[in-house]
Amino acid sequence: MIAAYSIPLLISVSFILLVFKNGKIIKTLSILSIFFSLCFVLFSSVNVFYSGIGTFAVSGFRPPFGIVLVLDKFSSSIASLILFLSLMIVAFSSNFVKEKIKEFHTLLLLAVAGSLGIVMTGDIFNMFVFTEIMSVATYALVGFATRKKNLEAAFKYLIIGSVSTAFMLIAIVLVYSQLGTLNMADIIVKINLNDKILKIIFSMFLLSFCVKSAIFPFYIWKPDVISGSLEPVATFLVGVVSTTTVYVIIRVLYTILGVYYSTWLSVLAIMTMGLGAFFALLQDDIKRILAYGSISQLGYIFLAFSSSLIFQGLYHLANNAIIETLLFLSIGTIPLHKKRIEKVSMYGFLLGALSLTGIPPLNAFFSKFFIIAGLLENKLFLYAIISGLISIVTLFYYMKVYFMFKKGEKRIYWPVIILIAFVLLLSFAPVWLQFFEGIEDDLLARYEYVIGVLKP
């Protein structure tokens, strides 16, 4: 499985960058390492979609005893998405980061490698290891500018992350004490879903990533951290880190626990959606508005998955990740133009904002439409009404941001152009339905996952 080589590639290049002093060489190597990692994952993904689950046993030890990297339709799609978004962010940051270039790119590549490892690992202990790699790198990135605001945000993020990590590590220790294994496929075989102790243990594990994803009531830290970070770092947090944490929650709920309906997660999702939108309306700082907006959109994603609306949730997860990245990169051009936004970025922001609001025929309209239609079909009428009303509120706070802008000169930022193209591409909903439904079938096939990973 060639995708397995993308993680050591990113980690090794991240340290090689420290040797160079030439900024152009550092930026080029950083972009190339993510590009080739994306190519590796896409190549492996084609095999996965046509031939089934791919595995790579590290050091030759077969699972469940050895470390194994696993690529199925779900993980390969998310891995491709986070590498694509990371490529856009790194390409954009070359216009933004002018000092400590090698340190910045080293940390960013480590964070990307950590995110990729979380998605590809087949056991929960290495999920913890890769989570720590991603987390430590992002703590440093948040405080990268070393101004008071950045350092304060980094400290808050560090405290929240440490508490989250503590819950995760305790849960892992307890899982091993109960089941004698940490391999996810082996856990599926051995777990007794009626065991209340195991339910409590995995609730602790999920709590850890609920904190990291900023779902209610653990969302307060996110706007402070986002507003105190450099634009490329803030974009990485809302685009890549959020997508990665959602992946973990869904992987644990669906693949390990086989839980397809969760009333408590639905309630938290509704609260996240509503409070995120409400507090976004009250803000005056652009990044804080977008931070609360990103929290609100995560509510839609968790509502879909907790209501067993799987392909709908997957579609909105992809839409949201790309659009949030577009929004943050668009406002990232403002510091480059002295309080003025360049014209292409302004229109890119408007496109993304209208899409997340649910304006047809843009991509997020279709994913929200499918979510609301699914809620109505499942007779969750209150959830459907609330979801529709919050979309109206979304329009107000995004337009509030849009009218803050002053047009600047016309320049081309290719990451913004490419993201605009992907928003339009994802708007062809009928083309993507079969793709996301295929991932849904794969995600529900728990025992096929077991056979694919533990095969002799």
- Ordered DSSP codes for 115-168: HHHHHHBSBHHHHHHHHHHHHHHHHHHHTTT-SHHHHHHHHHHHHHHHHHHHHH
Of the given ranges (95-99, 157-161, 215-219, 380-384), which has the lowest mean pLDDT? 95-99
Q: What is the mean pLDDT of the chain?
A: 85
Distance between CA atoms of residues 394 and 391, nearest Å:
5
Confidence of residue 26 (pLDDT cuts 50, 70, 90): confident
Q: Which residues of 6-37 are buried (b: 16+ CB within 10 A; e: fewer)?
A: bbebbbebbeebeeeeeeeebbebbbebbbbb
Torsion angle of C-alpha atoms 200, 205, 211, 213, degrees rounded to 10:
-130
Mean pLDDT of 12-24: 74
The contacts of residue 77 (CB under 8 Å, 6+ apart) are 45, 314, 318, 439
Looking at residue 164, its pLDDT comes to 87
Q: Look at residue 340 and tell me whether its pLDDT is greater than 70.
A: no
Dump the DSSP string for 307-330.
BT-HHHHHHHHHHHHHHHHHHHHH
Instruction: Among 7-16, 18-27, 98-107, 434-443, name the one with the lowest average pLDDT.
Output: 7-16
- Cα gap 420→37, rounded to integer Å: 23
pLDDT at 16 over 80: no
Is the pLDDT assigned to residue 455 strictly greater than 50?
yes
The pLDDT of residue 404 is above 70: yes
The DSSP secondary-structure symbol of 253 reads I
Query: 232-268 as b/e, with b when 16 or more CB fall inside 10 Å?
Result: bbbbbbbbbbbbbbbbbbbbbbbbbbebeebeebbeb
Return the ∠ at Cα 318 (arms to 216 and 348), rounded to 5°: 100
User: Residue 337 pLDDT > 50, yes or no?
Assistant: no
Q: Which residues pair with 341 in a beta bridge?
A: 407
Which residues sit opposite 70 in a β-bridge? 55
The predicted pLDDT at position 275 comes to 93
| Close Cβ partners of 168 (under 8 Å, ≥ 6 residues apart) | 128, 131, 204, 205, 208, 209
Structure-token match 């995708």, residue found:
3
